[in-house]
Structure 1
Amino acid sequence: MYERDVLAEDWRRPLRGKIPQVPAELDLVVEDADGGFCGAVVACDKEAVTLEDRFGRRRLFPLEPAAFLLEGKVVTLVRPAAAPRGPRRSASGSIAVEGLRAQVAKESRIYVEGVHDAALVEKVWGHDLRVEGVVVEYLEGVDHLPSIVEEFEPGPGRRLGVLVDHLVPGSKESRIAAQVSSPHVLIVGHPFVDVWQAVKPSVLKIASWPSVPRGVPWKEGVIAALGWGLEPGDAWRRILGSVTTYADLEPELLGPVEELIDFVTVPGEDGQPRTHQEGS
């Protein structure tokens, strides 16, 4: 929650002298307090800062007192003491490749359970995947996993990485994953019922993800508990729109996705892809 009602009249005046000053370092994600434009710092001089949002749109803002929100709190951006040096980072935290050109996709693939999983992976790791030429596809449900693996015909140089929701001991997902056995397939997962939960609650200004009673559809139950009054598709767009970098996601998702990218892209000492055993 914000520290106070940011829509109240003259809301900055009572805070004068109490607002922290924050250096406008590259990739710092802030929100314009007046217009709500949210983006990462891509440039800053002594008078203004340039923000870039998740769509690549850029806007210039003057460095005025109490003009920005950082993690929901009012701050004053100031020019960094020294011009920042070093490479720019992508949303995943990796070094961004400037002037990237599309390359022919590798035979190896990463599969995720559904379209929401694919959208989240693309938003945070899309740059990395385009650099490597790796395509992300979705299963439309884990029930299809064994047949998809069989049809894919994994092998050396044609590896398959799979991200599964709710991959915990005793779950349906773990039993299905156990049916797949290949040194060229890596199945990893996260403990969340749905990938929505992989987004940190603080990013959405909520205390925690609500518990949903058995028998109630999870997404609809969450929306009702939060009082959003939205259809699931609109709720997902709200959630995805709040994610800017890997720091907005839980570690239980970050680790598995990074492991999958390594599995399908990093060669071994003999120049061939590394061999991992299937995990569940």
Structure 2
Amino acid sequence: VHDVGGADLKVPEYGLIIGTELAKKLEVGVGDTISVEIREGRKPTVELPVVDLVETYIDLPAFMHLSSLSRLLLETTSTDFISVLIDKSRQDEFYRELKQTPRVSAVMLRELAVDNFNSTMAETFVIFIGFFGVFSAALGFGVVYNSTRITLSERGRELASLRVLGFSRAAISYILLGEVGVLILIALPVGCLIGWSLAWLIVETAFNNEMFRLPLIIYPSSYGIAILVTLASSALSAALVQRRLNHLDLIAVLKTRE
């Protein structure tokens, strides 16, 4: 038995090791005594101390030493499941021996099961993340482009007047797009914080139940990718707006009598 960090879980001779989530539900901690009703054999009810807590992501487990459980049931020690670490070079030989053992009903390769799980989850998450990545890029582009277009519509005459007065295209672009760029730079850390909050909310509500739990792990590269996508969408929006800035109607401004 291993914990979430991969370290071996040392089950004591007496007492229980329970998962942290189960401890929260039972409102117990290390040193507390809980009543355990065994549903097999004589079905005794015993009081056992909690000797340790362990973080788990699947089910709500409680671990007890096999010999102690056998004594409580007044039964001989029996085993239903065995985990075996084998050398890959002798894997075929091990399988041949198992086939000649009539009491072995099933064999499961942990490595194969993990690979199948990872491949299935990876395919699902690639589609899931890809969809939301494209959606977020399109949304970011639309927000920046529309807000910049609105600003250009409101201040187009002023910017054209500056062009007539001798300001270069780069100067009026700096006035309009520089303002938008500052707002984007301010929004990036705020957006990262909101994104983390949404991820935490999803993990705590949709992926936190008695069957399984997912930890919230966000790598720094995820923030980097999100920021790059936002900047790329904003740059594309700025390029399209720049084309409109380059074609401001200066003649219409000269005809204005204001």
Q: Which has the higher strand share?
A: 1
Q: Which has the higher helix share?
A: 2
Structure 1 length as normaliser, TM-score? 0.17
Higher relative CO (Cα under 8 Å, sequence separation at least 6) belongs to: 2
